[in-house]
Amino acid sequence: MRFDVFSLFPEIFQPYLDISILKRAIQNGLIEVRAHNIRNWAADKHHTTDDTPYGGGGGMVMKPEPVFAAVEGVLGAPPACPVILLCPQGERFDQKMARELAGFAHLALICGRYEAFDERIREHLATRVISIGDFVLTGGELPALMLMDAVGRLVPGVLGDADATQDDSFSIEGLLEYPQWTKPPVFREWRVPEILLNGHLARQQQWKRQQSLIRTLENRPDLLREAPLTDEDHEFIAQYINQRLEESQFKEE
């Protein structure tokens, strides 16, 4: 899979790409990342990439000319791959979207700086606008890295094990992942749950499912509205809620 990233600070990306899983994926030819400096396509001698906004207001706005020139100079006009604009006003990035984007062989990412993009970049160059959350950063480079990491690890072969991502949070039918433990079985008197040590696979799988339900209920109850829950799931959730209510009432007494 190939990522072409367009930024005013392309040097930001290499340190992260030079470590761990993404580094191995790049070395093995599973992922390719090309970072391009938008300033190289600015036409004036000062390599200007921003200007004041029409209609007044604070901050500076990224000019359309160098961004269009950079993207079309590398990818052609129009680009043959999806062009993603990273912006807080876009659709919220999630695991489902990461899996969707992992189905493409080539993605282009545009990283903003300053106050905003000229709207013509959004309307006539970007094919999709994506946000990583309801907050504002100083630039789109960190969101681009997050997107590449989330999408890249889903490319076949990157994690080595084809099943390695199936139990990720948001992948277990929309639920959060169950808690995990490893050796030693006892650390500072804190024990690994006995059910994970007894070897009964069917009971372990049921327990993991229930723990996913509990963790989702306590931390992201909104996800349960969309999750395909079984009758057994609904029964367990009802029992768990009733148990918590009883415990709360007992403490108050």
CB 182 within 8 A of CB 193: no
The active-site residue out of 53, 64, 82, 88 is 88
Beta strands in 101-176 (DSSP E): 106-111, 116-117, 128-131
205-to-59, 157, 162, 172, 178 alpha-carbon distances in Å? 53, 26, 19, 12, 10
199-to-170, 192, 194, 203, 208 alpha-carbon distances in Å? 26, 13, 10, 9, 13
Beta strands in the chain (DSSP E): 2-7, 32-37, 50-51, 61-62, 83-92, 106-111, 116-117, 128-131, 186-187, 190-191
The active-site residue out of 65, 72, 115, 173 is 115
Q: Catalytic annotation on 115?
A: yes
Q: Catalytic annotation on 168?
A: yes
Please provide residue 214's backbone torsions phi and psi, each rounded to the nearest 5 degrees: -65, -50
The active-site residue out of 65, 72, 149, 168 is 168
Token readout for 30 is 């599973």
Torsion of CA 246, 250, 251, 253, to 10 degrees: 140
Q: Catalytic annotation on 91?
A: no
Residues catalogued as catalytic: 88, 115, 153, 168
